[in-house]
Structures are given as C-alpha cells and as structure tokens.
Amino acid sequence: MPMTMTEKILAAAAGEKEVHPGQLIMANLDMVLGNDITSPVAIKEFPKFGKKNVFDKDRIALVPDHFTPNKDIKAAEQCACVRAFAKSESIKNYFEVGQAGVEHALLPEQGLVTAGDVIIGADSHTCTYGAVGAFSTGVGSTDMAAGMAIGKAWFKVPQTILFRLHGSFRPYVTGKDLILHIIGMIGVDGALYEAMEFAGEGVSALSMDDRFTVSNMAVEAGAKNGIFPVDDKTLAYLKESGAKEPRIYQSDPDAVYDRIIDIDLGSIVPTVSYPHLPENTHPASDGAGIKIDQVVIGSCTNGRLSDLRAAASILKGRKVADGVRCIVIPATQKIWKEAMHEGLFDIFIDSGCVVSTPTCGPCLGGYMGILAKGERCVSTTNRNFVGRMGHTESEVYLASPYTAAASAVKGFIAAPEAL
C-alpha cells in the first residue's frame, strides 16, 4: 500500500508495516515536550499513571519560556514546580533561565529533534518540527503526562493535503507570507486534523527558517501536523545542530492525498493577516490607512537569526515612527548572542526599538508588550484572536519581519518595498 511521509513515520513508530487514514494507533515517542504553563498540569497528573519515574529522562524536554524570566508570583510558582520535577526526575533537557529560549526554536537548535521522529508537546505549535521531516504535534497536558509515563501516545492517522510549491520568492517575501497566503486560501479549518505536506521543486527555494515558520503555523489551518521532505538543506541543518542520525521517509509517488494544491511562490506578495483570524489575509500594500501603536518581532514563528537580520535590513538608518513601540525578541540565547555580535542590536536600538531576553511573552498576552484598549499591533507571531495580546478591544495584525519592520518605520501597515 502506498503511503505518505506522515503515514510512514507513524507506521514505523507503531511497529506496523502500513497504516491508513482514520486508523487508531499507539506510537512510540522520541520526545515529549512541555513548557512553564502546560507542564505543571502534566506533572500533577503524572502520579496517577502509577509509574515511579518517567519513561526516559533523556527524551523529555521542559522549557520555561512563556512567563520567564518570571513576571509575577504565579509564574514563579509554575516554574518552581517544573524545576523541582526536572530535578527529582533527573531530566536532562531542562532549560533554566540563562539557557532557555522559545521552545520551538530551542529544540531544533539544540539538536533534540530529527527526521523521522515522533514528537508530542503540550503546546499547539509543536508542529514546528515537521520542518526537519519529523511527525510532531501538539497535545493536552494529560497526554503529555501519559507520554512522560509510558513513552507512547494514541493517534488517529491523518489524511494528507499535498502543497506542491513551484518557483521562488520575490524580494521581501518569506515563509511567513507563504503560510499566511495558504491559510487565507483554505481557511483556519481548511486542513482540520490533516497533515499538510509541502513538496515540489519550490521547496529548495525555502530556507530552513522558512520551513520552520510554515510548519509552525500549520496548526492555524487546523492541521494535525505540517511536514517537509528531507533534502540537503535539512541534512546540513541537522548535522550543524548535532542531531542524532535522521530516519528519512519519502512519500510514495502514488500516495493517496485528500487534495493536491499547487502554489506559485513567485505570485505571493508580502501578506498581512488582519484581526481576528489568521485567514483574514490582505496584501501588505493595502494597509496604508491602518495606523499602529506597537510592533513585535520575535516568537517561535519568527524569532530566528534570519528574521532579525530581515528586520534590521529595513530598520538600518531609519527610525521607528513617533508613537510606535517596537519590541524585538530573539528566540534563544544563542540567537540573542549572535545578533548582538553581528551588530543587529545597535541597529535596533539606534532606530528606537527595545531588545528583550528570549520569551514568548507578548505572543500570548503574557507580558513584555501587552496591548491596551483600542491599540493595534503588527506582530510576527502566529495568532491574532480576540484579546490574544491584551485587551479584548485591541487588534493584532500578523506579518513577516520585513513587513513588521517597515510598518514600525511608517507608523501604519506598510509593504517593505514601499520604503
């Protein structure tokens, strides 16, 4: 029976020769992930499984990144719970403040995920790791607890939508614009509990950071996972990060897909998602009348070094518009240090930005950039739901680092090529 990449990975993890969409399987896990919001719930549930210790202390990652450095007493208590559990269970991949970063940028950087892995995380954007050819998906905290206890998880094998990419991007267009374009096309439920597989000769035009961004936001179309084929760029990235030996799976030529959608990368323009759903997409060039109060450049979606370089290329020699706050958040300590040594911080600060330590903070309305009533923000994050970044009467507009930086300079939503 011909199978897709996702089906092959799940079949191998379940010890089956083949699986088919809709089939329920029990799969072995290569990594179980939690953060400072979701882990405490899982930790409290863990004793109910009757296990003395976690299934494998090397295959669990605990990353305090949402409210750290701690913003208040409740956040401190959450992190204390995670810290104590990590110590009692001798969790190897616990990342304390000073080593931590935004989880979905940190794990690939640290070589903790690789091609062919099956990964669950108690965070919906765990689908990010499909960029390296892994099956990764978000789960609830109880599922995380079960994963920590027995190293397995139940899955219903998803159907797959194939996105065939052709050509290459025009200037100032990135993976963020691609995934916003796709979500605008199919809707926030257009891939509900399906795998989004990206293939075609156009894949070679996407950097690894582009692929991380696209996979990260697959869940915003309702997808179970997003996944890319393993090519030379993938292998070079995995080698550089020190990841374990990849297990490479390729979709069969005659694999059955729910749908096949062709996309010309050259036709995509800088794109902005207006409130209050990621599917509400418009060309950035149409936003000149929308004044803004804040810009956030960072997150698990767009806080990598290439994202900071893109923003700096726009901000260099320019000033953030009066009345606009621009917050730049490198996703990990390594990225923070590299950006500093490259002189990107000088560019950001000279232009009027503030640079934060790594955190998820403003993305989920946690801290480091909360919006007041009536305020608008252009953000490189992944969600723009009502109240996502603060007051329920504030607005979030999703965009790429190029577009976010251009908007910071203009004081309204602006396409980068307009500067």
Question: What pLDDT, on a 0 to 100 scale, did the predictor assign at position 67?
Answer: 92
* Band of pLDDT at residue 419, cut at 50, 70 and 90: confident
Average pLDDT for residues 374-378, to the nearest whole number? 97
The verdict on 200 and 336 lying in the same domain is no
Question: What pLDDT, on a 0 to 100 scale, did the predictor assign at position 288?
Answer: 87
**Residue 151's CATH number:** 3.30.499.10
Q: How many domains does the chain have?
A: 2
Whether residue 32 contacts residue 60, with contact meaning beta carbons closer than 8 Å, is answered with yes
Cross-strand bridge partners of residue 326: 295
SS3 string, 347-408, reads: HHHHHCCEECCCCCHHHHCCCCCCECCCCEEEECCCCCCCCCCECCCCEEEECCHHHHHHHH
pLDDT digits (tens, 9 = 90+) for 44-88: 999 999 998 999 999 999 999 999 899 999 999 999 999 999 999
Last residue of a domain, one of 263, 293, 309: 263
User: Phi and psi for 264 in degrees, rounded to 5?
Assistant: -90, 110
The verdict on 128 and 239 lying in the same domain is yes
Per the structure, the complete domain to which residue 389 belongs is given by: 271-418
Question: What pLDDT, on a 0 to 100 scale, did the predictor assign at position 385?
Answer: 94
Q: At what angle do helices 401-410 and 305-315 cross, to 10 degrees?
A: 30
The verdict on 279 and 230 lying in the same domain is no
pTM: 0.95
The verdict on 74 and 184 lying in the same domain is yes
Question: What pLDDT, on a 0 to 100 scale, did the predictor assign at position 368?
Answer: 93
pLDDT digits (tens, 9 = 90+) for 183-192: 999 999 999 9
Last residue of a domain, one of 263, 286, 310: 263
Rounded to the nearest 5 percent, the helix, strand and coil shares of the chain are 40, 20, 40
The verdict on 190 and 55 lying in the same domain is yes
Residues in CB range of 18: below 8 A, 6 or more apart: 1, 3, 7, 11
Asked whether residue 350 carries a pLDDT value surpassing 90, the answer given is yes
The verdict on 256 and 303 lying in the same domain is no
For residue 392, count CB atoms less than 10 angstroms from its CB and return exposed for 0-12, middle for 13-18, buried for 19 or more: exposed
Helices (H), ranges, 89-137:
103-109
The verdict on 160 and 303 lying in the same domain is no
User: The sheet that has 325-329: what strands, in order across it?
Assistant: 281-283, 271-273, 395-398, 376-379, 294-298, 325-329, 354-355
* Band of pLDDT at residue 287, cut at 50, 70 and 90: confident
The verdict on 224 and 280 lying in the same domain is no
* Band of pLDDT at residue 314, cut at 50, 70 and 90: very high
As a whole number, the mean pLDDT across the chain is 96
The verdict on 231 and 376 lying in the same domain is no
Last residue of a domain, one of 211, 228, 263: 263
The verdict on 283 and 144 lying in the same domain is no
The verdict on 248 and 278 lying in the same domain is no
Whether residue 43 contacts residue 82, with contact meaning beta carbons closer than 8 Å, is answered with yes
pLDDT digits (tens, 9 = 90+) for 126-170: 999 999 999 999 999 999 999 999 999 999 999 999 999 999 999
Average pLDDT for residues 364-381, to the nearest whole number? 95
CA distance 214 to 175: 6
The verdict on 67 and 12 lying in the same domain is yes
Residue tagged 């998602």 (tokens): 273
